[in-house]
């Protein structure tokens, strides 16, 4: 028989309680020894699931109620004169963490209510009442032990995390700094007392990123997650099998880009991560549009059989030029988080553009020209990206076609520099062919 040394016992547990717990465990082991192995597995499974559900229930009910209570306390506190958002945050967080300890008792009660129901469903109908009652009691103890063990170790951190998230959202909506330094307390108080003096969105010092909503924002813009899903669906259409009916129309794309702009303007539900993901997806969408991998469906034109005509769009046609103009305006807003526009000059994008027709090359050059005109990119940055592409071994005939196209469009004032880069790519490709 295994003997547990006294040095391994918990020091903070009373001796009488430890003895009672050991006796309880020994009795349960003896009970399972005289029962089928499936009974033990069923009891342990039910205890595991009920304990997990108890934790989830506490997160969805108690923690949410505490955070909502803290939000009301924060809003009431900020309405008072000479209020300090940072001090309110610390005080409310301490109260919520203390109240969060109620989760232990509520979780134990939840396990006592749900465990018997679950064990009765899973055990055979032929189970004797004595075995059933004993199994229920063991399940209740194990489930409560698992739930309370997790909550006692993590409930404080959970409440702190949820409260911090709610606090940041409330501060964004009210237009106050998310964390007030002691040196900035006077400014925070003045801002809370005289909110009408603030007429422009707040920004971080030394940064161009807008930190709160503009004045009179109604916070009814689409959620970032919804917009991301919609853009990713379009990108999946571009790379996967598709029918003409699945292709977007120019009006659909214009509406989508407009909704992206609304989402980036309202800061209530927007984080830096979701903002960067939105900008990244819009750049990927632009790459698919200018390369012709995502054709634009034209509803106004119809074929002789009544089908919808798919038009890749040329630079001279208003729909595509308007889309490119709208994208350039979107990237040029105050929300610029170093938009991943470098993807326009990746070998993958350039190869797709070179392999497409003249219309796609015109669209690509037109988009880059708009970025330069709006000051989003400088001409030096454009040329530097072209220089990096000189190491790419692109097909010579495609480079030649693109060279002729760029000469005809004359979209870049420093065309000679760009032509040098294109010539270098062509020469490097010919050298590679001679070596092989």
Q: Over its length of 436 residues, how does the chain's per-residue pLDDT go in tens digits?
A: 445 554 444 455 566 666 777 777 778 788 888 888 888 899 999 999 999 999 999 999 999 999 999 999 988 888 888 888 888 888 999 999 999 999 999 999 999 999 999 999 988 888 899 989 999 999 999 999 999 999 999 999 999 999 998 888 888 877 644 333 433 333 433 333 333 333 344 444 333 445 567 777 777 888 888 899 999 888 888 887 778 888 888 888 999 999 998 888 887 778 888 888 888 899 999 998 888 888 887 755 444 444 444 454 444 345 688 888 888 888 887 545 456 788 888 878 888 887 787 888 888 888 888 888 888 878 788 777 776 665 555 555 555 555 554 544 444 444 445 445 544 444 444 443 444 4
Phi-psi bin for 219: left (phi > 0), alpha (psi -120 to 50), beta?
left
Q: Using CA atoms, how far apart are residues 33 and 26, in angstroms rounded to an integer?
A: 10
Token pair belonging to 137:
């009691």
Token pair belonging to 376:
């989003």
Token pair belonging to 382:
């454009």
**pLDDT at residue 397 in the model:** 52
SS3 204: coil
**pLDDT at residue 27 in the model:** 81
| Spatial contact of 380 and 332, defined as CB atoms under 8 Å apart | no
**pLDDT at residue 190 in the model:** 37
**pLDDT at residue 70 in the model:** 92
CA distances in angstroms from 298 to 131, 385, 401, 417, listed in the order given: 72, 33, 27, 37
Q: From the centroid of its chain, how far is CA 150?
A: 27
SS3 298: strand
CA distances in angstroms from 247 to 180, 236, 311, 317, listed in the order given: 49, 11, 10, 18
Instruction: Please state the pTM of the whole predicted model.
Output: 0.47
Q: Using CA atoms, how far apart are residues 200 and 216, in angstroms rounded to an integer?
A: 10
């Amino acid at each position: 028989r295994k003997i547990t040394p006294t040095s391994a016992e918990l020091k903070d547990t009373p001796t009488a309680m430890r003895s009672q717990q050991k006796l309880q465990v020994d009795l349960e082991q003896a009970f399972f020894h005289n029962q089928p192995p499936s009974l033990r597995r069923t009891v342990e499974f039910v205890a595991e699931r009920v304990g997990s559900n108890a934790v989830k229930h506490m997160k969805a009910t108690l923690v949410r109620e505490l955070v909502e209570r803290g939000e009301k306390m924060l809003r009431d506190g900020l309405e008072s004169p000479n209020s300090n958002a940072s001090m309110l945050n610390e005080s409310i967080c301490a109260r919520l963490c203390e109240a969060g300890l109620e989760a232990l008792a509520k979780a134990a009660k939840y396990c006592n209510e749900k465990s018997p129901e679950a064990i009765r469903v899973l055990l055979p109908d032929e189970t004797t009442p004595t075995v059933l009652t004993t199994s229920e009691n063991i399940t209740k103890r194990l489930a409560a032990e698992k739930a309370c063990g997790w909550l006692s170790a993590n409930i404080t951190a959970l409440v702190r995390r949820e409260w911090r998230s709610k606090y940041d959202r409330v501060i964004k909506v009210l237009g106050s700094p998310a964390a007030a330094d002691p040196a900035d307390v006077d400014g925070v108080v003045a801002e809370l007392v005289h909110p009408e003096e603030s007429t422009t969105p707040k920004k971080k010092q030394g940064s161009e990123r807008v930190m709160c909503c503009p004045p009179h924002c109604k916070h009814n813009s689409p959620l970032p997650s919804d917009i991301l899903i919609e853009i990713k669906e379009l990108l999946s259409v571009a790379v996967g099998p598709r029918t003409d009916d699945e292709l977007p129309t120019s009006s659909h794309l214009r509406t989508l880009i407009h909704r992206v702009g609304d989402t980036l303007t309202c800061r209530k539900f927007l984080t830096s991560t979701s903002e960067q993901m939105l900008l990244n997806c819009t750049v990927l969408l632009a790459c698919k549009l200018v390369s012709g991998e995502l054709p634009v469906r034209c509803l106004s034109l119809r074929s002789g059989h009544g089908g919808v005509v798919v038009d890749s769009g040329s630079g001279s046609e208003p729909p595509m030029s308007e889309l490119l103009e709208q994208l350039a305006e979107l990237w040029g807003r105050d929300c610029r988080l170093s938009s991943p526009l470098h993807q326009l000059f990746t070998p993958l994008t350039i190869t797709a553009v070179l392999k497409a027709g003249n219309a796609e090359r015109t669209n690509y050059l037109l988009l880059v020209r708009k970025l330069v005109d709006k000051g989003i990119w400088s001409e030096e940055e454009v040329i530097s990206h072209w220089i990096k592409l000189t190491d790419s071994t692109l097909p010579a005939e495609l480079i030649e076609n693109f060279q002729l196209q760029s000469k005809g469009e004359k979209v870049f004032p420093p065309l000679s520099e760009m032509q040098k880069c294109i010539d270098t790519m062509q020469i490097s490709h010919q050298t590679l062919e001679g070596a092989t």
